[in-house]
Structure 1
Amino acid sequence: MPHALITGGSRRLGLYMTEHLLADGWQVTVLTRSSSAELDRLRGERLNIVTLDYYQLDQIKTFCQQIAAQPLDLLIHNASLFVGGVDTGSSEAFGQLFHIHMQLPALLNTELAAALARSDNGNIIHMTDIYAENPNSDYALYCATKAGLENLSKSFAKLLAPQVRVNSIQPGALKFLPDHSAESKIQVLKDSLLPHEAGFEPIFQTVQYLLANSFITGTAIKVDGGRSISRN
């Protein structure tokens, strides 16, 4: 039975991938800062929910030691923090963004590299953002750390080849939040070449594609309805 580890798997995209990997017969470990009622409803013998403080590196290392004895087939870095601003001096958020988007993935990749290498099809997938290449200045630090994660993904593709394949997915606007106004929805859709709310299925389809195609590593795939080339 293949084993996947997903960070940030308790809500939205992470929850969707968790649910669908379970439906496809995977064993799934979810690493989360806090669970959710939706994730708890999926509990079963093939789902392991681990609640940890992402900022406590010793806890993360201990967790990795506990699961590293067995092969790991898929590591999805989905945990993310979306905050605006550019204040690097006084904002605590800059350190948090760096840690969630770069330090945590680098630590997990390093600590679990041997477990991934023991798989017949070891894969790491980093969820970055189309803003990594064309940033939104209102979210400069978020965009910068996602760009750092994109670069990190390529570095690990070099480090872990050929045993482990490492790629990234760059999502655009996929599924609106409940608090999105009608006006903001219209504007987002207007900025996309494929102007409809896609939901999370296109991301999961891309995960399946990366798992199935054994000749792809070190690449980034945009899943954004063309938004990255239509927005200014």
Structure 2
Amino acid sequence: MTHSKKHALIVGASRGLGLGLAETFLRRGWRVTATRRGAAPGLEPLTAQGVRVEAVDIDDDASVTALHERLAGERFDLIFVVAGIVLESDQPLHAVSRAVHAQIFLTNAVSPLLFAEAFRDRLAPGSTLAFMSSVLGSVGRNTEGGWENYRASKAALNTNARSFAARHAARDFGVLLLHPGWVATDMGGEGADLDVATSAAGLADVIEARAGRTDLAFLDYRGETLPW
């Protein structure tokens, strides 16, 4: 069957920004495939509106391979790896166990790129591969410290994505690192500047405006360039 609608794969859509992005692209007329790792009561109602929901754990190679096989034949105009974690990020680096550091770096900086390598053959020409980064990942903007393990994991994500882009210099899709702003989610915490709907709409605007481009960029939800 031929589908004329653009198709988005939102990886990590069980709640927060991932769920908000799934809802946003659905409202904009996209086909949406959304993934969850565990239970996702907020995501399940979207199945009645045509969203395809799949389970995957990006830290598990077998799980990623199984998803790749289940989505055989699909091509995506957007693959957005949103999944990430925050663990003990309010603590200084030396106060956090090696096991926690290892988990943060695996999930936030390594697994997104392993997923991208596995799924780059599912990207349509002129499509976009996006990663949920953070302004905290900007080395140039780090003048105050804080959020040390999370900040370092996002800087590592940015570096790994740059290496990915260089390794696939002849690619026919764009690569984006996106900062969503400070958003009121379970991860963002209290006092955030933005609600999920505003951030998701801004991110979708940026992605749609850059459709067809094959370059690499680190941008915020308003489309402004951030320093690496």
Match of 1:41 in 2: 45
Q: TM-score, normalised by structure 1?
A: 0.78
Task: Give the gaps of 5 or more residues in structure 2.
Answer: none
Match of 2:173 in 1: 164
Displacement of 1:178: 11
Does 1:149 find its partner at 2:146? Answer: no
Q: Is the 8 A contact 2:12 2:35 kept in 1?
A: yes
| Aligned pair partner of 1:2 in 3, 6, 10 | 6
Q: Counting helix residues as a fraction of each chain, which structure ranks higher?
A: 1
Match of 1:52 in 2: 56
Deviates more, 1:151-160 or 1:74-83: 151-160
Measured against aligned partners, the alpha-carbon deviations of 1:34-54 in whole angstroms (never above 9, x if no partner) come to 232221111136312222333
Q: State the SS of the aligned residue for 2:116.
A: helix
> Over aligned residues, Cα RMSD in angstroms?
3.0
1:150-229 aligned within 5 A: 150-158=158-166, 159=168, 161-175=170-184, 185=191, 197=194, 199-213=196-210, 214-215=212-213, 217-223=215-221
Displacement of 1:179: 10
Q: State the SS of the aligned residue for 2:101.
A: helix
Deviates more, 1:202-211 or 1:25-34: 202-211
| Aligned pair partner of 1:30 in 22, 30, 34 | 34
Match of 1:139 in 2: 147
Q: Structure 1 counterpart of 2:121, which letter? A: A
Query: Equivalents in 2 of 1:123, 1:76: separation in Å?
Result: 8
1:56-71 aligned within 5 A: 56-71=60-75
| Aligned pair partner of 2:130 in 110, 122, 125 | 125
Match of 1:192 in 2: none
Q: Which has the higher contact order (CA 8 A, sep 6+)?
A: 2
Displacement of 1:65: 2.6
Query: Equivalents in 2 of 1:8, 1:178: separation in Å?
Result: 13
Displacement of 1:162: 3.9
Q: Structure 1 counterpart of 2:158, which letter? A: E
Q: Is the 8 A contact 2:26 2:32 kept in 1?
A: yes
Displacement of 1:13: 0.9
Indicate how the Cα distance of structure 1 residues 215 and 7 shifts in structure 2: closer, same or farther if over 3 A, else same: closer
Runs of 4+ off more than 4 Å: 176-181
Measured against aligned partners, the alpha-carbon deviations of 1:145-197 in whole angstroms (never above 9, x if no partner) come to 1011112222333315441111111233132659956xxx3xx6xxxxxxx54
Q: Is the 8 A contact 2:58 2:115 kept in 1?
A: no
Indicate how the Cα distance of structure 1 residues 23 and 122 shifts in structure 2: closer, same or farther if over 3 A, else same: same
Query: Equivalents in 2 of 1:220, 1:170: separation in Å?
Result: 8
Query: Equivalents in 1 of 2:187, 2:73: separation in Å?
Result: 41
Displacement of 1:212: 2.9
Q: Is the 8 A contact 2:181 2:194 kept in 1?
A: no
Measured against aligned partners, the alpha-carbon deviations of 1:15-39 in whole angstroms (never above 9, x if no partner) come to 1110111122222222221232221
Query: Equivalents in 2 of 1:210, 1:93: separation in Å?
Result: 32
Match of 1:193 in 2: none
Q: TM-score, normalised by structure 2?
A: 0.80
